[in-house]
Structure 1
Amino acid sequence: MNRPRSFESLDLIIDSDDHQNGALDTTIDDILPAKSGARPWVLPKPLHKSLADEFGNTKWEYLTQDPSKVRYYGSETYFREGLHSTMQVLGACLYHTLHRHTAIVFKPDAVVARKILPALEFLKKHNFDPVFAYSFRYDRLSLREDWRYQLNQLSLERMRLNTLLAQMGDSLLVMLRDSEADRKVPASVRLQLMKGPSFPEQQTPKHLRFVLGSWSRLLKFVHTPDEPADLIREFGILFEDEERRNILRQTTSASADKGMSQVMKMIDTLQAKNPYSPLEFDRSAEKLLSHHFSLAEKGGRYRTFFERLKATIESCRKGEKLDWFALEAELVKLKQNITWDHLVLAAKFIHHSYENEPPLVPNTGVKIWRTRRDLLQV
């Protein structure tokens, strides 16, 4: 019998009646003989017996100086998947690349208030070069997972409003390359210190949030990872494997000029989809009262809503806290969309957080980086 030797004949043999009945003795090895020296896809022995051995000699602990993160991140799915993608792209350059690069996320409030360009100008002055941008949208789950270890501090109203704000539109991730000549800490740490505190009263003119005019703990415009390990973890939360790899490849290969051009195109696209709003309280309060006053002419529930809204703003100006859940429930009943002006009102008057509640993972790593400069990998 003449045995076929071509790959194209394989399906004919497998599907033939003679083969099914055992009449043919042709095997896969006859058709596709193994090549001498071919390397099989098998794991090296001995196999890892614990999570601590999963990444071999990769000492990812060097990417954080926070003992709590070492304890939690090593067993967390998001971080493990993010680190795997990062290792596949960066290889032996992992430490150097992650210490020289970081990311900043411009949230939807930064888009509508046109804060991205002023922020990039500030960053350029401080030797951070934008090299790649990627738009995405937070959902309820990714938002909570990203801030999993800090959300115990927030009120339920604040968590709800964080979700509403994040879903008002796309956010923009901008990858940054730190070109500081005498870098003393990783890029992520330097940017975190430069970003400024969440509390507006603690910000100074040297902080990015101060420059952008962040007047509320809700409307903060930007987010940045605190340390290199946080960048890996957030990649694992926000993006699929191929997205992570693409972002890393683009980040490491782009020149500053080419990167800025691509970033500007992304900014133009986002701003074209989102009309401008200054997100200023007095203007938003005036617009809300004007809008709901016009609806009050219908009488009934619309008039009652307007009167309660007016009374609420007056009471909150005197120091009372807004009951956001009650206000949102009435908006739903009236089939009124939640707008940026509603979010600005909430940003001004809600109870944001529990001041005496420590986060599950305190951000102690940044302080250690500042005092232990010998830890920097170059």
Structure 2
Amino acid sequence: MTSAPVARDSRMPGEDLWPALTVSATKTELFAEDLYFRECWADALDVFGAPAAAGALAPLGLLSFKCDGMAARRADRTLRYLADQGFSILGSSRIRHNRHSMRELWRYNWHVYTTDRLALMTLMHSVSESLLLIVRDDRFDSEVPGSVRLADLKGSADPEARGPEHLRTVLDPPNKIINFVHVADEPADIVREVGIFLDRPERRALLAEVRQADVERATRQAFEEAARLEAEVPASDFDLDAALKRAEAVTEADVLARIRFAVSGGARLTWNELRTLLDPADTAIGIWDFVRIATEVLDADRPASADLLPPSSAAEWRAAGSQLTR
């Protein structure tokens, strides 16, 4: 008895298109079977047209605000930075993470986190709605995708590894865990991440908005939506000393002493221990003061390779382009 033939997915990128989406052979292999990429790529083909989809993605970038970015009131600063760096806003959409979507988005990064940090991430990334932006690189040079230039401009989470020109320097996050924004690394990541963030009707509407490219309207909507979102989220200064001072007013002296000991480099706390000492649901504490303190007292990382899918760079894309033209 012969088995039925397996249909080939004719809508997926072929060998001729993958080099326009990623320089990573590993990413090509993984995303070819990825549910989110496959679904959103089909939408991109429908919206942009089959021959044009990869080219339409080339100048684009994706930036999403994390909930802490809304609480820290970093939206206006980020939007103005994008404009200063030559990026125009083409579309935006409200988003909200749950424990599954955040793990899918950072599937190839969060393997380095301890389970205690995963618990913290689940809390801090699901506090509120946030904002997703699709931008166009108006300085696009046909060699380096807009997403790659934007990812380079974002800068490292490590303040020692970034310069004054980087977005994360401009946003001035308090540490490596609280860092306000996320960006997609390459065109392939834009496709996959839009597929994670949005259901089919919403993502097709966003892609159609991008295709129309009404920059003035999209920019106005992004500023207005960011302002509305920030108004819905309690503000936080993310100042550690201030957070400890506020906690001091509503906690027992021995509790605060144990927390301060961990902050100063003493024995670390586990997630369960910290939740026993401070309750993030207690309005007297405030969720963002809890988060700020937690980032200083938990063991955050475990021994593991830094990235399962390392981000690409402009230099890698230029090198790949030169190889193709030889």
TM-score where L is the length of structure 1: 0.77
Q: Does 1:108 align with 2:67?
A: yes
Aligned to 2:256: 309
Aligned to 1:323: 270
Q: Deviations over 1:285-320 (max 9, x none)?
A: 11111222xxxxxxxxxx4xx412322213421354
Q: Does 1:255 align with 2:239?
A: no
- Number of residue pairs aligned between Structure 1 and Structure 2: 317
Query: Post-superposition shift, 1:153?
Result: 1.1
Matches within 5 A, 1:190-229: 190-229=149-188
> What secondary structure, in the 3-state scheme, does the structure 2 residue paired with 1:291 have?
coil
Q: Does 1:359 align with 2:317?
A: no
Q: Deviations over 1:27-53 (max 9, x none)?
A: xxxxxxxxxxxxxxxxxxxx87345x4
Change (3 A) 1:181 1:339: closer
Change (3 A) 1:82 1:182: closer
Change (3 A) 1:329 1:85: farther
Query: Post-superposition shift, 1:330?
Result: 4.5
Larger Rg: 1
Q: Deviations over 1:227-270 (max 9, x none)?
A: 00011111121211111110011112132211111111101211
Q: Does 1:336 align with 2:282?
A: yes
Give unpaired runs (5+ residues) of structure 1.
1-46, 293-302
Aligned to 2:248: 289
Matches within 5 A, 1:1-378: 49-51=7-9, 53-55=10-12, 59-62=16-19, 63-91=21-49, 92-180=51-139, 182=141, 184-292=143-251, 303=252, 306-331=253-278, 336=282, 339-354=287-302, 356-364=304-312, 368-374=316-322
Q: How far apart, in 1, do the equivalents of 2:210 and 2:323 lie? A: 24
Q: How far apart, in 2, do the equivalents of 1:358 and 1:58 lie? A: 29
Q: How far apart, in 2, do the equivalents of 1:366 and 1:322 lie? A: 40
Q: How far apart, in 1, do the equivalents of 2:84 and 2:101 lie? A: 32
Q: How far apart, in 1, do the equivalents of 2:309 and 2:275 lie? A: 32
Query: Post-superposition shift, 1:323?
Result: 2.3
TM-score where L is the length of structure 2: 0.89
Contact 2:12 2:32 in 1 (8 A): no
Aligned to 1:41: none
Change (3 A) 1:232 1:375: farther
Contact 1:134 1:172 in 2 (8 A): yes
Q: How far apart, in 2, do the equivalents of 1:252 and 1:349 lie? A: 46
> What secondary structure, in the 3-state scheme, does the structure 1 residue paired with 2:177 have?
coil
Query: Post-superposition shift, 1:372?
Result: 2.9
Identity of aligned residues (%): 28
Letter of the structure 2 residue corresponding to residue 66 of structure 1: S
Letter of the structure 1 residue corresponding to residue 122 of structure 2: T
> What secondary structure, in the 3-state scheme, does the structure 2 residue paired with 1:372 have?
helix
CA RMSD of aligned residues (A): 2.5
> What secondary structure, in the 3-state scheme, does the structure 2 residue paired with 1:223 have?
strand
Change (3 A) 1:87 1:115: same
Contact 1:60 1:229 in 2 (8 A): no
